[in-house]
Amino acid sequence: KPAKRLSTDSTNSHEGATGGEISALEEAFRKFAVHGDTRATGREMHGKNWSKLCKDCHVIDGKNVTTTDVDIVFSKIKAKGSRTITFDQFKEALQELSKKRFKGKSDEEALQQMHKLIEGKGPVISGVTKTVSSPTVSRLTDTSKFTGSHKERFDASGKGKGRAGREDLVDNSGYVSGYKHAGTYDHKVQGNK
């Protein structure tokens, strides 16, 4: 039943406005709606993504519109018992916030300014791959300081030896283990002639 309602809403939403304006706004809505949720379809937006949209698109300015205002508008617009808003409810929420964000402008002008802030934008991803360099971790992962059986698992550059470092592999070269000049016999014999 909700899917049918959404399809009729989307056909009605294109009336009364230019197609490009709606599609750019709807595209931004869908990008934010699916952000961080692998099961999201892009037809409904959660409150968390609504807040992210308002922060990333600079709807929240800290003076006229705050995070609290954004949360209140979301709670007011969404259906009772629902956790998401549809695209039409999203437009209602923008209209409500535009009056607050752009005081002194007409409702239509404020709404256009609000649409300009959001159109064509997507979620900003920052600081996701940042790693913290801690002296404790670097000390524990420095292979040059390993001793005992752990030392045998890594070569001089710190790269792991793989299977050779984990298992005792039989060396059939004819040399005693630990002999440093293996394979130099022919060179020594020819060098003396």
Dig out the tokens for 81 from the structure.
């018992």
**R_g (Cα) of the chain, nearest Å:** 32
Name the token pair of 170. 């039989």
C-alpha span between 54 and 64 (Å, rounded):
13
Section 36-44 average pLDDT: 85
3-state SS class at 84: strand
Contact call for residues 48 and 40 (beta carbons, < 8 A): no
Separation between Cα atoms, residue 121 and residue 101, nearest integer Å: 18
Task: Compute the distance between CA of residue 103 and CA of residue 90 in angstroms, rounded to an integer.
Answer: 20
- Domain 24-117: which CATH number of 1.10.3720.10, 3.40.1790.10, 1.10.238.10, 3.40.50.460: 1.10.238.10
- pLDDT digits 0-9 by tens, 47-70: 999 999 999 988 888 888 899 999
pLDDT over 70 for what percent of the chain? Answer: 83
What mean pLDDT is reported for the chain? 78
Mean pLDDT value across residues 126-135: 69
Q: Where are the domains of the chain?
A: 24-117
Beta strands in the chain (DSSP E): 45-46, 84-85
Q: What is residue 18's predicted lDDT score, i.e. its pLDDT? A: 45
- The string of pLDDT tens digits covering residues 70-83 is 999 999 999 899 99
Q: How many whole angstroms separate alpha carbon 184 and alpha carbon 178?
A: 14
Predicted pLDDT at 141: 74
Of the pLDDT bands very low, low, confident and very high (cuts 50, 70, 90), residue 12 is: very low
Residue 84's pLDDT is: 92
* Per-residue pLDDT at 150: 75
